[in-house]
C-alpha cells in the first residue's frame, strides 16, 4: 500500500519535492527584501533574470525595478491607485474607470 515510501531494498525514502526555479525566486521575493539582478543571475543560474521577473509579473506579482549606480534591484510591493486604475480601464474601458 505504501510502496512509494520504500525503495527496492525496503529502506525508507524521505525526501522533499524539488522546487522549480520559478518557485524558488517567488519564495525569495516573498521575504520582502530587495533582490539584485546579479544575485538572481548567479544564485539561480538564470540566463535572463529580467525574463523571470516578467514571468512573475504576468502571474500577478507586483515587482518594482530600482536602477542605481550599483546596478538593478527588484522588490515586491503593493500596487498604487494609479496602477489599479490603469488596469481597470484596460480591462473594462473608460465607462467604469476608477479615479485615483
| DSSP code per residue over 69-91 | TTEEEEEE-PPPHHHHHHHHHHH
User: In sequence order, which residues have a C-beta less than 8 Å from that of residue 81 and are 6 or more positions away?
Assistant: 98, 100
Q: Model pTM greater than 0.85?
A: no
What's the average model confidence in pLDDT over 59-88?
88
Q: How confident is the model at residue 75 (pLDDT cuts 50, 70, 90)?
A: very high
Amino acid at each position: 500500500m505504501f510502496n512509494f515510501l520504500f525503495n527496492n531494498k525496503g529502506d525508507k525514502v524521505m525526501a522533499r519535492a524539488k522546487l522549480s526555479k520559478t518557485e524558488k525566486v517567488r519564495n525569495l521575493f516573498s521575504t520582502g527584501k530587495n533582490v539584485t539582478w546579479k544575485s538572481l543571475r548567479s544564485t539561480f543560474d538564470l540566463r535572463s533574470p529580467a525574463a523571470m521577473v516578467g514571468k512573475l509579473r504576468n502571474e500577478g506579482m507586483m515587482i518594482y525595478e530600482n536602477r542605481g549606480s550599483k546596478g538593478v534591484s527588484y522588490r515586491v510591493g503593493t500596487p498604487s491607485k494609479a496602477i489599479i486604475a490603469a488596469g481597470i480601464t484596460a480591462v473594462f474601458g473608460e465607462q467604469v474607470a476608477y479615479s485615483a
